[in-house]
Homo-oligomer: A and B are copies of this chain.
């Protein structure tokens, strides 16, 4: 089958990430989509830079209108941003019958009604997973995953720059201006940070989520915006003393009187999962009448996480264009003729860290015996604590190990259990770091 041809408009951070993901995961993606998704054409002001990013097989132009007019382009990816040229390009692409994937939250929040009306008329898809919360598939969750629900409210940490600043202000007791300067140095904040720290960016994303949650038109102009630039380290500290964390929250809620649509710094009880989302990470808490509260967490920005959402949209559109309804989304995600028979590892071959609790019959020398056995099986120790006393029979040694193959752990445990100075069985639990 002929590949799907993608025209990429804008080869900056996210555009570069999109080109990278399409190339690096080409095999995985075609196994899922049932068809090759090919970067066919790209447009960028700096043509040379785009050529070096996209590689020699991609036609690079400086005028993005050549992409939306090109008869062989099936899907246009708009990553230019803003609402002037991007709006013209998207409307033109739709008019030409091309499907559109965009990460442009501002464009959708401010001109979405016009764009979606034209897309509906032309029967083309405008997919925008990347416009909200980067790599977190929250649009799909709200629009499809929770479709049985009367959605009641959405609360989101949806601006990574602000969340990074608030996290640093709390952890270091620092003031806004100092942390902003650090964020700018690290590349987490723009030279002009207004759009992020005054809530505009969060407001655009919230407007989009509110529309798809409640079935209302996009109304960004009615979104209340209050940023974090006036927050002081003192108020963050006082809030913490009272058991709260301060987050820049986008909040939309259905009430009898109407829809709440607001972005502002918010105190949240410290025990909530969303209160513990730190740094540049994003999270969205969505509550429905059937499902109750659900939370979605991940990277809200960055080249590869945002590209993850852009390319997922490309896979969605490709699946819809490629197969009949019964075969569109493969049951096991991958096309049935492209499953792999990877071996499942027996547990003895799995590598893990361990918690070991050992009952000592006699403390003298027991730790020396145990550590000798662990070392002999290639197991290094992360921590040891001793508990209780020999006299009342409660002497115990608790050990956390570094990572080792389970087979070696088993050998060591058997040898430890055979020691005269050890009573009964060793308690063994596995440990995982689980970054994220």
A positions within 8 Å CB-CB of B: 17, 21, 24-25, 28-29, 31-33, 99, 112, 116-117, 119-120, 122-126, 129, 135-137, 140-150, 155, 211-219, 222-224, 231-232, 234-235, 238-239, 241-242, 244, 246, 249, 251, 254-255, 257-262, 264-269, 272-277, 285, 287-299, 304-305, 307-312, 314-316, 320-321, 324-334, 336, 338-347, 349-351, 355, 357, 383, 385, 387, 398, 400, 427, 429-436
Contacts and interface: CB of A to CB of B under 8 A. Distances in A.
Contact of A304 (B25, B29, B291, B340): B291
A432 B298 contact: no
A298 B308 contact: no
A344 B125 contact: no
A277 B24 CA distance: 34
17 contacts: A21-B290, A145-B312, A147-B312, A148-B314, A155-B432, A223-B344, A244-B355, A260-B344, A260-B350, A261-B344, A262-B350, A267-B430, A268-B432, A291-B304, A292-B304, A294-B297, A320-B325
A213 B333 contact: yes
B135 A291 contact: yes
Nearest to A311: B148
A407 to B, nearest CB: 12
A290 B14 CA distance: 12
A262 B435 CA distance: 18
A307 B290 contact: yes
B295 A298 contact: yes
Given A272-B434, A290-B25, A345-B258, A120 B295 contact: no
Which applies to chain A's interface (DSSP): helix, strand, loop or mixed?
A: mixed
A24 to B, nearest CB: 8
Contact of A292 (B112, B259, B432, B436): B436
What number of copies of this chain does the assembly contain? 2
Q: Which of A285, A295, A350, A432 counts the most B-chain CB atoms under 10 A from its CB?
A: A432
B142 A333 contact: yes
B212 A332 contact: yes
Contact of A148 (B25, B269, B272, B347): B25
A235 B429 contact: yes
A315 B329 CA distance: 14
Contacts of A246: 429
B137 A429 contact: no
User: Closest 4 interchain pairs by CB?
Assistant: A293-B436, A137-B145, A148-B311, A123-B326
A373 to B, nearest CB: 21
A258 B357 contact: no
B336 A116 contact: yes
Given A219-B344, A269-B434, A276 B276 contact: yes
A147 B212 contact: no
A361 B326 CA distance: 72
A306 to B, nearest CB: 9
A331 B116 contact: yes
Contacts of A336: 116-117, 120
A100 to B, nearest CB: 10
B385 A238 contact: yes
B295 A224 contact: no
B297 A266 contact: no
A349 to B, nearest CB: 6
Given A212-B333, A267-B430, A308-B146, A217 B341 contact: yes
